[in-house]
A = this chain, B = another copy of it.
């Protein structure tokens, strides 16, 4: 019998099952530096220990998306090795910052299963938690994927479709302990715009573009220990192209959004996300955002802004998202819905 990991097929999942994912990972200064080399990240709270201290923290935490990618990467060998498609995210919350030196591991619980009508595959819903070395949950999100069946003749399980909120309620957002934007230095942060300056419905063209190279997305995806073949092996697809990890596009777009949203400092919730089209090396990625909602928090000077972040290979200034048929345009890569913390 083979000793390599064949991945799980649809019939290997059961509702209620808990999967303890392998290979914990210590994140430190090196990962922080690499994140800044891989993405044009400039949010001051993650760039400067001094700035973070002036906001009431003990120093710069690891980028929220770095924590997300690390936890996500752990789940790949158990959840998406035989996945046909990554269908969605919901109810994601960052519950605690990850600090340099922290070690993360991940656990997932199967919360839903539904076989497709073709009998070839099914949808699996998992709720994943990222835990640090003292078993505090630092991140919690739901993800669903379409997974192939090993045997198309295997019987379908009872369908269980979880009831997922479309948006994390602002009252459920967790503000990191000590965070205080009362003395926030807008000049040093890079832009004067505070929460009050943004209007619901406002759209922001982030203007800049980044042309992506193979070496870059592979360095990133390996750093998160994501093992999906499609990202690394040019012989895996008939067209000889390597599919860029969707999370790489999320981080690129978020970093580009600095230009116009420099003060949307910390990501605290992931409401929804769609990888609308695949991204390949050679593409020039641009981004635009739309303000979806605003909410207060109990922390001094800290408000929450709900944003739609769109990555596109087209014109970010056209704010185009869907065609007349209601489907995502071909040039849209990502449609992400998240909450961030911003000085009021």
Contacts and interface: CB of A to CB of B under 8 A. Distances in A.
Interface of A: 2-5, 20, 22-26, 28-34, 36-40, 42, 44, 47-51, 60, 77, 101, 103, 105, 133, 187-191, 193, 197, 204-211, 213-216, 218-220, 222-223, 225, 227, 229, 232-236, 242, 259-262, 284
Given A26-B47, A34-B37, A205-B4, A42 B215 contact: no
A248 to B, nearest CB: 13
11 contacts: A20-B188, A23-B188, A23-B190, A24-B51, A28-B29, A30-B31, A38-B222, A48-B105, A77-B190, A211-B233, A213-B213
Given A36-B225, A42-B227, A225-B47, A22 B190 contact: yes
A34 B2 CA distance: 31
Contacts of A25: 47-48
A206 B2 CA distance: 10
Nearest to A261: B3
A40 B260 contact: no
B187 A22 contact: yes
B48 A24 contact: yes
How many copies make up the complex? 3
Sort A-B residue pairs by CB-CB distance and give the 9 closest, nearest first.
A30-B33, A22-B190, A215-B215, A24-B48, A211-B234, A209-B233, A213-B215, A30-B30, A37-B223
A188 B105 contact: yes
Contacts of A219: 37-38, 215-216
B23 A50 contact: no
A37 B32 CA distance: 12
Contacts of A235: 209, 211, 284
B38 A33 contact: no
A121 to B, nearest CB: 21
A87 to B, nearest CB: 24
Nearest to A217: B215
Contact of A204 (B4, B20, B262): B4
Contacts of A197: 3
Given A210-B233, A211-B233, A215-B215, A47 B34 contact: no
Given A3-B193, A20-B187, A40-B232, A227 B208 contact: yes
Contacts of A22: 42, 44, 187-191, 262
